[in-house]
Chains A and B, each alone.
Chain A
Amino acid sequence: MARAAVPGRLNRGASWRVAQLVESREETGTARTLVLEVPDWPGHTPGQHVDVRLTAPDGYRAERSYSIASAAAGNRIELTVQRVPDGEVSPYLIDVFSVGDPVEIRGPVGGWFVWRSADPAPVLLVAGGSGIVPLMAMVRARRAAGSRVPFRLIYSVRTPRDAYFADELRQRARDDGGLDVSYVYTRETPDGWPSAAHRIGVADVNSHGWPAELEPTCFVCGPTGFVETVADILVALGHDSRRVKTERFGPTGG
């Protein structure tokens, strides 16, 4: 098929393209991973997201933004979608959207909350709830690149059942040299857990993060209140605010 030589390259994230669901799997009781096949996917950098657009038969449209969970790999991307009660888009994507169905996506977009494997600085990832998704893409991209950059991940979840990617993270922490994973439970801990359920605090970030002197790049992703708390803690612990990159998930109406 003939194509114009130049147009499209610069603006490759701008146009809507039709992706197809090729696989889906349950992550938790309220979250599902969607594997999409996207023709001519240009690849992405971990931390980037896509916009998903749904159209009803009468032309009504709804649009939401989702972080990409997977590392770049050919024409496939994975989105992990958390169900928003009374939402409009996430219940559709979890309950109705089926293997073989098409969906419109735009992206990859976002050039700031991204990790580039060529950056040698140590990395601290701090996730609150579904904020793990773009950080998981970084963990996966690190492995895919064979990177030895030291990573630490602090993952705050309500209960052990709410953790996404738990098996994979356990395996990566064991097999991928230089990746440490620690959890903070806010409502309910596993049996025998050394500390009581609590919200993330200075002690968690201090003991499971990196000292500021190592000048790590910090990526913090989660609900707005969580992100504000963690960013304030990091700056109070001496981290340069320019190396603390944040992404906030709001109550999106999802």
Chain B
Amino acid sequence: MGIVSPGFQGRPRSSQPSLPPGQYLTEDFPVLSAGPTPRVSLDNWEFVVTTEAGAEHRWSWSEMLALPNETPTVDIHCVTRWSKLQTNWKGVSLDTLLAEVETAADYALVHSYGGYTTNLPLEDLLDGQAWLVHQYEGGELPAEHGGPARLLVPHLYFWKSAKWVRGIQLMLTDEPGFWETAGYHDYGDPWREQRYQGD
């Protein structure tokens, strides 16, 4: 089908081993947005974990900052095909936030200010794989990149790293989120190129 455009290469796709298949390397940090940027004041900000039994665990901004913080350096991979290597973040490990939470849940549905949602297995949030981050490259996380705070789950495509995160709902069954209900993969492993449902 179709024709090849003479002399057209497009953005350079890389076959270098540090990049998942089909990704290209970018130095800048593209802003993706599916809606207006929510403005959340730190006074009103809170992060809530809700268990399948309805129990709620809440942190205010200052309570979250008072928890032990980590400074992960990770590669990130967006399903729109850009990858960015060695990004530096600061935030709280989900292991810390979920340490006192009693649950039998296997799945998590992440909720954001502005209405965005994304789903992932609970185990992908644990064991040093996920953070609630509030700093990027030494400065406060800009609103267009998800500030005041976003999720960071770098081993999955970046749509799982919800911007403007406000809470996590723990569930016994999987429930697809915003992009997952519109054709995107429920898990989203970039190394297996799980972009769409059925990949």
Contacts and interface: CB of A to CB of B under 8 A. Distances in A.
Contacts of A60: 10, 13
Interface residues on A, range: 20 to 34
B17 interface: no
Contacts of A98: 6
B30 to A, nearest CB: 8
A103 B5 CA distance: 6
Nearest to B13: A60
Nearest to A57: B4
Interface in B1-52: 2-11, 13
A55 B13 contact: no
A62 interface: yes
A16 interface: yes
Interface residues of B, number: 11
Contacts of A53: 2
A91 B192 CA distance: 32
| Most B Cβ at <10 Å: residue of A56, A61, A98 | A56
A96 B6 CA distance: 8
Contact of B9 (A16, A56, A101): A56
Given A62-B10, A88-B10, A88-B11, A56 B5 contact: yes
A191 interface: no
A88 B13 CA distance: 13
Contacts of A56: 4-5, 8-10
Contacts of B3: 18, 55, 102, 104
A103 B8 CA distance: 11
A55 B7 contact: no
Contact of A58 (B5, B6, B11, B13): B13
Contacts of A88: 10-11
Interface string B98-118: 000000000000000000000
A96 B8 contact: yes
Interface string A194-225: 00000000000000000000000000000000
A165 interface: no
Interface in A51-88: 53-58, 60-62, 88
Contacts of B7: 92, 96-97, 101
A54 B8 CA distance: 7
A107 to B, nearest CB: 16
Contacts of B6: 96-98, 101-102
A16 B2 contact: yes
A55 B9 CA distance: 8
Nearest to B24: A60
B33 to A, nearest CB: 11
Contacts of A103: 5
Interface string B142-180: 000000000000000000000000000000000000000
Nearest to B31: A251
| Most A Cβ at <10 Å: residue of B2, B8, B10, B13 | B8
A122 B70 CA distance: 64
Interface in A81-131: 88, 92, 96-98, 101-104
| Most B Cβ at <10 Å: residue of A54, A61, A92, A101 | A54
A97 B9 CA distance: 12
Contacts of B13: 58, 60
Interface of B: 2-11, 13
Interface of A: 16, 18, 53-58, 60-62, 88, 92, 96-98, 101-104
Closest 3 CB pairs of A and B: A54-B5, A96-B7, A54-B8
Given A55-B4, A92-B8, A101-B5, 11 more contacts: A54-B5, A58-B13, A60-B10, A62-B8, A88-B10, A96-B8, A97-B5, A97-B7, A101-B7, A104-B3, A104-B5
10 contacts: A53-B2, A54-B5, A55-B3, A56-B4, A56-B9, A96-B6, A97-B6, A101-B5, A102-B3, A104-B2
